Amino acid sequence: MIRYPTFQPTDNPLIFKFIKNLSDRLIKGKGTGPACRIYPCSEHSISRSQISDEALKVLSRLKQSGFEAYLVGGCVRDLLLGREPKDFDVVTDARPEQIKTIFRNCRLIGRRFRLAHIYFGRSLVEVATFRGGDSNGDRVLENGRLLRDNVYGTLEEDVWRRDFSVNALYYNAHDFSVVDFVGGMEDHEKGVLRLIGDPEERYREDPVRMLRAIRFSTKLGFIIDPGCERLITTLSGLLREIPPARLYDETLKLFLSGYAVQTFELLRRYRLFEILFPETEKCLAREKHGFPLVFLAKALENTDIRTGQEKPVTAYFLFAAFLWEPVRARVEAQIQNGQNEFIAIQQAAGDVIRLQSKTTALPRRVALPMREVWSLQPRFKNRSGDRPFKLLEHPRFRAAFDFLALRASTGDIDPELPDWWEKFQHSDEAEQKKMLHGSNRRSRRRTRFKSSGKSPAVN
């Protein structure tokens, strides 16, 4: 058992106040006492050579200017895992305006959190000021949810404002040590994702942390701490209070990290998917083991493959796959009521995009290509005259064809259709004309059979 010293009043009130504050911080475990452990370079695997030159320049310049500066967050976590960080984040006691004075290549951004972006050509280093816990500062909460948090503090205070313990490790590039206030190194070694502080309070403060828990769990292969896990389903409805624009960004992070299939499964397990894609979830609930689930699983599997191969994945294609079943269901219903297929798909697309935008804001650069991909699907059936050549020239042809092939691979349409188009687009002009001639003959035969009331099998 550790016994903390008790302090008696002195004649000097300033000295007494300093000693009392130090004692309080030690007892609360928020100072440099037993709750804080410093791991020297011999006790961790991070090497200075793994850190980008740009990040090292920022750390060095801040230190030379008389400020504290550390690497923090995902970059430290990933370095400990032996992974190459996507970016390097720096935290300091310098205020945003002071950072801008030190770096001419700096731009201040953000309203909810004031940040400094320091540019080195195409490279970017993000610098944040230590956040504090002063409720009288520029910190705004509404119903427990954090709206603005520009309250500055110390390193010891900053750690308690972070979300997960494994994201609250600070790397000091000057003595090569890792500073740990919350047992993040132990959680890292155990592969546990644990929120700092009271889980319910932290989820209510920012419900997006539930999505981050899913994303980090799949990305890192960590388990979610049971105390944090059991609250997710109960509190999932809090995500409805998050602005749609922010949920759109978080959704892209969830499914473009290379673990889209596992992420989809966890989101459904914890009832978060129905918050992000309510119309799609309704379709999945009606057909639990049918085409919609198979189609989505295949689309996400292809997304993971492309991400793993460092090939681009467009947001509009991803959302087109997520929302295809609600569109398809509406189109089928309208066709049964006598509506033309082309008009039906336009109307269905408009309805689904409007409903989805209430949850995840769909930018125009995403919504319009989605509509085009869906609207081109019926046009693949037309394989006569000049229409196939016109479709080939459409700027969205390739994406629409990939979507058609995806549908065929999961049983939504006959594979013969995408096979024909695959051959047609890679054939020379003479071969294309032969294919069109054969297609026209088959089309006339199908018309004759239909008009005579007989089938090919009967003849």
Q: Which domains does the chain have, with CATH numbers?
A: 13-190 (3.30.460.10), 261-450 (1.10.3090.10)
Measured between alpha carbons, how far is 199 from 197 in angstroms, rounded to an integer? Answer: 6
Q: Is 93 a catalytic residue?
A: no
Catalytic residue among 93, 163, 225, 304: 163
* Averaged pLDDT score across all residues of the chain: 86
b vs e for 158-192, b when ≥16 Cβ sit within 10 Å of the residue's Cβ?
bbbbbbbbbbbbbbbbeeebbbbbbbbbebbeeeb
- Nearest to 93, CA basis, from 44, 131, 42: 131
Element (H, E) at 140: strand 138-142
128 DSSP β-pair partners: 91, 115
Measured between alpha carbons, how far is 197 from 98 in angstroms, rounded to an integer? Answer: 31
Q: Is 87 a catalytic residue?
A: yes
| Residue 113: predicted pLDDT | 79
More confident residue, 34 or 52: 52
| Residue 11: predicted pLDDT | 46
| Residue 290: predicted pLDDT | 67
Does pLDDT of 10 surpass 60? Answer: no
Total-model pTM: 0.81
Token digits for 342?
């082309």
Q: Is 89 a catalytic residue?
A: yes
| Residue 143: predicted pLDDT | 52
Per-residue model confidence as pLDDT tens digits over 396-439: 999 999 999 999 999 889 999 999 999 999 999 889 988 886 66
Catalytic residue among 87, 351, 402, 412: 87
Per-residue model confidence as pLDDT tens digits over 69-113: 999 999 999 999 999 998 999 999 999 999 999 999 999 998 767
Per-residue model confidence as pLDDT tens digits over 298-314: 999 999 999 999 999 99
Q: Which pLDDT band, with edges at 50, 70 and 90, does 384 fall under?
A: confident
| Residue 250: predicted pLDDT | 97
b vs e for 267-287, b when ≥16 Cβ sit within 10 Å of the residue's Cβ?
beebebbbbbbebbbebbeee
Report the Cα 397 to chain-centroid distance in Å.
27
Per-residue model confidence as pLDDT tens digits over 152-197: 999 999 998 899 999 999 999 889 999 999 999 999 999 999 999 9
- Nearest to 305, CA basis, from 220, 322, 297: 297
Measured between alpha carbons, how far is 220 from 77 in angstroms, rounded to an integer? Answer: 9
CA-based radius of gyration for the chain? 29
Does pLDDT of 6 surpass 60? Answer: no
Residues 6+ apart with CB under 8 A from 262: 218
178 DSSP β-pair partners: 39, 171
| Residue 28: predicted pLDDT | 37
